[in-house]
Amino acid sequence: MQHIIDRFLKYVKIDTQSDPNSKTTPSTEKQWLFAEELVEELQEIGLEDVSIDDNAYVMATLPSNIDEEVPVIGFISHFDTSPDFTGTDVNPQIIENYDGKDIVLNALDDIVLSPDYFEDLLQYKGQTLITTDGTTLLGADDKAGITEIVTAMEYLIDNPEIKHGKIRIGFTPDEEIGRGAHHFDVDTFGAEWAYTMDGSQIGELEYENFNAAKAKVGITGKSVHPGYAKNKMVNAISIATEFLEILPPEETPQHTEGRQGFFHVDHLKGEIEHAEFEMIIRDHDAAQFEERKQLLRDITSKLNRIHGDCIVLELEDQYYNMRQRIEPVMHIVGIAKKAMEAVGVAPIIKPIRGGTDGSQLSYMGLPCPNIFAGGHHFHGKYEYVPVESMQKAVEVIVKICELVAANR
Ligand SMILES: [Zn+2]
């Protein structure tokens, strides 16, 4: 366990925050530093074909130690941390034998990680937790995933009696700004399928995510003196309101869960002459996803007929539900589930209400379910990870490698 802790602490102390406003890859220079350190470490532990490309994507190979041909599989994590909260000078706190009570992260600022608010803490009583000091995020998302993959590869190298096929590992920049998969070279990676180690609590296994689109609606009005405006003024603000009122009021993030989809207006501004709003559209079901987009088109045409072509709708698909790409190869989920059960982890299979790199990779030809990395409350100061969960993730990775070889 100490080995995992040391490796994880070394990783999280390096600031790798990504930046959505940057046009480069990686989006921040500092991600290079971590990527280069990873390359060195992967070489040191004895992996082969260790590479880093022009966009800082790191890949490596654990060669097969059996004669039979078995599918090449991969494990993937991202090394950037969220732009939502600072990752500079992460000062992790280690709570051994957690007693189930409040954890004071920062006495000075009265920042407390409390099971009264975060009930998930209680399932880790007696375990070792790594938390922040209340001033930064932790970066378990997704340096826990990297720790687990590297540790698992090292374990397989040190224990050659465990038989496995060729394993590829890949570490990506800029996942948190939605670009982690963009420059991922699926051909060079050369795996039949892979797993992202980027889920949250122990047991999570995910192969369904939203279909996602964004919409931008621009409305042009006509300003006339309000006292003399009859039949002349076109108030862009009123038309924006009219548009939004047609949307089903119960289909918003705050009213939905599980596989229920939604419209989410996340930006709105307006004057008489111009109003605009932006929204995201999410649905696990492909047909309903199309219906949602069609509804926006229908409202636009209807209001354009009434008010005279004043609305411009821009719709753009963002990503799709990986389920459509995983279903034909469901055995890859079955293997992960079996691996979890074999090491005493109860699988929690549920649809992701978001997207992952894995969904994009699945559409790029690399089917890629998502497995827990162990952390909780990502992207903020309450982020923490139980070391025991990381240890179990290592065991799951090792077991998957073993099962793929044994299934021949
Ligand atoms: Zn992540």
Residue 326: the pLDDT is 97
- pLDDT, tens digit, 9 for 90 and up, residues 22-69: 999 999 999 999 999 999 999 999 999 999 999 999 999 999 999 999
Residue 1: the pLDDT is 85
pLDDT higher than 80, residue 158: yes
Instruction: Give the separation between CA 335 and CA 327, rounded to whole angstroms.
Output: 14
The verdict on whether 175 is a catalytic residue reads yes
Domains of the chain: 2-208+322-406 (3.40.630.10), 211-319 (3.30.70.360)
- pLDDT, tens digit, 9 for 90 and up, residues 206-253: 999 999 999 999 999 999 999 999 999 999 999 999 999 999 999 999
Q: Find all residues with CB under 8 Å of 364, minimum gap 6, and list them.
A: 181, 184, 186
Indicate which residue of 15, 80, 148, 283 is catalytic. Answer: 80
- pLDDT, tens digit, 9 for 90 and up, residues 79-109: 999 999 999 999 999 999 999 999 999 999 9
Long-range contacts of 150-154 (CB under 8 A, 24+ apart): 150/7, 150/38, 150/41, 150/42, 150/45, 151/3, 151/4, 151/7, 151/390, 151/394, 152/75, 152/394, 152/397, 152/398, 152/401, 153/42, 153/45, 153/47, 153/60, 153/62, 154/45, 154/46
Q: How far is the CA of 17 from the centre of ligand 1 (A)?
A: 12
Give the DSSP H or E segment for 185. none
Mean pLDDT value across the chain: 96
Instruction: Give the separation between CA 296 and CA 247, rounded to whole angstroms.
Output: 8
Question: Is 198 flagged in the annotation as binding?
Answer: yes
Question: Is 264 flagged in the annotation as binding?
Answer: no
3-class DSSP state for residue 303? helix
257: exposed, middle or buried (Cβ count in 10 Å: 0-12, 13-18, 19+): exposed
Residues with CB under 5 A from ligand 1 (ion): 141-142, 198
Q: How far is the CA of 388 from the centre of ligand 1 (A)?
A: 19
* Phi/psi at 400 (5° precision): -60, -45
Instruction: Give the separation between CA 338 and CA 331, rounded to whole angstroms.
Output: 10
Helix, strand, coil shares of the chain, percent, nearest 5, are 35, 25, 40
Helices marked H in 176-311:
186-189, 236-246, 286-307
Q: How far is the CA of 78 from the centre of ligand 1 (A)?
A: 7
List the Cα angle 181/187/189 in 5-degree steps: 70
CB 236 within 8 A of CB 223: no
Q: How far is the CA of 227 from the centre of ligand 1 (A)?
A: 55
Rounded mean pLDDT, 345-368? 93
Of 168-172, 175-179, 265-269, 286-290, the one with minimum mean pLDDT is 175-179
- pLDDT, tens digit, 9 for 90 and up, residues 174-213: 999 988 899 999 999 999 999 999 999 999 999 999 999 9
Residue 282: the pLDDT is 97
Q: How far is the CA of 141 from the centre of ligand 1 (A)?
A: 5
DSSP 8-state code for residue 271: -
Q: Find all residues with CB under 8 Å of 290, minimum gap 6, and list them.
A: none
Give the DSSP H or E segment for 280. strand 274-283
Q: Is the dihedral of CA 345, 330, 210, 261 positive or negative?
A: negative
Instruction: Give the separation between CA 137 and CA 158, rounded to whole angstroms.
Output: 33
Rounded mean pLDDT, 161-165? 97
Residue 408: the pLDDT is 63
Tokens of 401: 């490698």
pLDDT higher than 90, residue 70: yes
Rounded mean pLDDT, 278-302? 97
Tokens of 275: 């109003």
Question: Is 141 flagged in the annotation as binding?
Answer: yes
DSSP 8-state code for residue 299: H
What does pTM read for this prediction?
0.89
Q: How far is the CA of 181 from the centre of ligand 1 (A)?
A: 12
Q: How far is the CA of 199 from the centre of ligand 1 (A)?
A: 7
Question: Is 109 flagged in the annotation as binding?
Answer: no
Residue 355: the pLDDT is 84
Question: Is 142 flagged in the annotation as binding?
Answer: no
Residue 354: the pLDDT is 86
Q: How far is the CA of 238 from the centre of ligand 1 (A)?
A: 40
Indicate which residue of 15, 19, 148, 175 is catalytic. Answer: 175
